[in-house]
């Protein structure tokens, strides 16, 4: 029997990544995520086709694993014994996982009280050294940059170009799955690394002649944390979508370049619009994402309602799993739960059958 092909971003996409013969080919099986066609929201969004890229299916439940595997492999190649990141939660979960696997120490700087429970559970489970800071993500990232410039610890935020390199592979996968680039790529924007990475991926694929065109990049920020839309940093960002509660994105110029070069847009969606899309994805599509991920679909719905949808084929990136943030789910829904005795008769009575 032939052993299964090794999986993961480094194995599958290594020739497009900054790896050398000295790079350890680590993997948690990241990448190769499903591209699933919409059954209900496609029409509501005024599109001919809507596909969901389920980045929530990565090993730690978010897209961060694609870039983290490259960043951690390169850090090891450079002899690092420790990594550090600032995070709204998903980066820290991913960094802590790869660090655990590779025997590295992982320091994570998180905004105190503002990280969803599932993400904290992951950082704790993977043995991360967690520093809850009295400030927001932007403050934590500034501190992480200073600390890693001074101490022998590798910074694995998306300001590390290896992160962006790994994340661009999702664009390759979309083009391979659809046979070409889509007309629209809808994506949530926080620190703006991912929109930067996707745009790079689509451009690279077109330059290689493997796609015949580029998508229009549609980025969506939460209204309470929309610095790129406003054109100025937001000192105190707020949103239910804690993953994208970021007031001064590190890859700001990457995001505006993606928007402008692609003929796309970056707009804001309110928390109500985010939670509406969050609910529609769960109840009409059977896809449970965290609130930040729903921003991509909220944005498409908003464009349709404003009469700005132009049809075509769109891909919405669903960046993180709904299980990351159970508290938002519990708060959003009136659960359909009935207490009953553990007998068929008792359950019939409870159901009124």
Site of interaction with ligand AN7 (CB under 6 A):
62, 87-91, 158, 188-194, 243-244, 290, 292-293, 319-320
Query: Running DSSP on this structure, what letter comes out for residue 180?
Result: S
CB-count exposure of residue 274 (10 Å: 0-12, 13-18, 19+): buried
204 Cβ contact list (under 8 Å, min separation 6): 16, 168, 171, 172
Q: How many CB atoms lie within 10 A of CB 42?
A: 18
3-class DSSP assignment, residue 320: strand
Residue 193 or 237 with smaller CB distance to ligand AN7 = 193
CB of 31 to ligand AN7, least distance (A): 16
Chain centre to alpha carbon of residue 297? 13
3-class DSSP assignment, residue 217: strand
CB of 250 to ligand AN7, least distance (A): 8
Residue 8 or 254 with smaller CB distance to ligand AN7 = 254
DSSP state letters, 152-163 = S-EE-STTSHHH
Instruction: State how far the alpha carbon of 194 is from the alpha carbons of 27, 151, 236, 304, in Å.
Output: 20, 27, 22, 24
Residue 42 or 138 with smaller CB distance to ligand AN7 = 138
Residue 38 or 196 with smaller CB distance to ligand AN7 = 196
> Would you state the structure tokens that stand for residue 278, as one six-digit string?
């969050």
CB of 242 to ligand AN7, least distance (A): 9
CB of 238 to ligand AN7, least distance (A): 15
CB of 353 to ligand AN7, least distance (A): 41
CB of 228 to ligand AN7, least distance (A): 10
Residue 46 or 61 with smaller CB distance to ligand AN7 = 61
3-class DSSP assignment, residue 112: coil
Radius of gyration of the chain from its Cα atoms, rounded to whole angstroms: 20
Residue 193 or 247 with smaller CB distance to ligand AN7 = 193
Residue 166 or 190 with smaller CB distance to ligand AN7 = 190
Sheet holding 129-133, edge to edge: 129-133, 105-111, 82-86, 154-155
CB of 290 to ligand AN7, least distance (A): 5
Q: How many CB atoms lie within 10 A of CB 103?
A: 8
d(Cα 293, Cα 275) in Å, to the nearest integer?
Answer: 10
CB of 292 to ligand AN7, least distance (A): 4
d(Cα 255, Cα 300) in Å, to the nearest integer?
Answer: 18
């Amino acid at each position: 029997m032939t052993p299964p092909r090794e999986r993961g971003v480094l194995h599958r996409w290594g020739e497009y990544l900054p790896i050398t013969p000295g790079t350890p080919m680590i993997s948690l099986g990241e990448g190769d995520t499903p591209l699933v066609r919409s059954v209900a929201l496609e029409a509501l969004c005024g599109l001919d086709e809507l596909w969901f890229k389920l980045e929530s299916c990565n090993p730690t439940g978010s897209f961060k694993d694609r870039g983290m595997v490259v960043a951690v492999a390169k850090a090891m190649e450079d002899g690092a014994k420790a990594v550090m990141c600032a995070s709204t939660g998903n980066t820290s979960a991913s960094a802590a996982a790869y660090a655990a696997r590779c025997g590295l120490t992982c320091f994570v700087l998180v905004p105190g009280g503002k990280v969803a429970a599932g993400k904290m559970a992951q950082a704790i489970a993977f043995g991360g050294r967690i520093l809850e800071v009295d400030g927001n993500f932007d403050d934590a990232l500034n501190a992480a940059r200073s600390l890693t410039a001074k101490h022998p610890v590798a910074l694995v935020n998306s300001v590390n170009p290896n992160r962006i390199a790994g994340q661009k592979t999702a664009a390759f996968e979309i083009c391979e799955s659809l046979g070409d680039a889509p007309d629209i790529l809808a994506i949530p924007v926080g620190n703006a690394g991912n929109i930067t990475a996707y745009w790079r991926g689509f451009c690279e694929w077109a330059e290689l002649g493997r796609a015949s065109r580029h998508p229009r990049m549609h980025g969506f920020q939460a209204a309470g944390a929309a610095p790129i839309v406003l054109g100025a940093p937001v000192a105190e960002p707020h949103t239910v979508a804690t993953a994208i509660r970021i007031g001064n994105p590190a890859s700001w110029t990457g995001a505006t370049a993606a928007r402008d070069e692609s003929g796309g847009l970056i707009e804001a969606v309110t928390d109500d619009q985010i939670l509406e899309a969050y609910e529609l994805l769960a109840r009409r599509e059977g896809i449970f994402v965290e609130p930040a991920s729903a921003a991509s679909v909220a944005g498409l719905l908003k464009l349709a309602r404003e009469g700005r949808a132009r049809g075509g084929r769109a891909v919405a990136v669903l960046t993180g799993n709904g299980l990351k943030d159970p508290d938002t789910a519990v708060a959003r829904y009136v659960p359909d739960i009935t207490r009953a005795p553990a007998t068929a008769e008792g359950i019939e009575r409870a159901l009124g059958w």
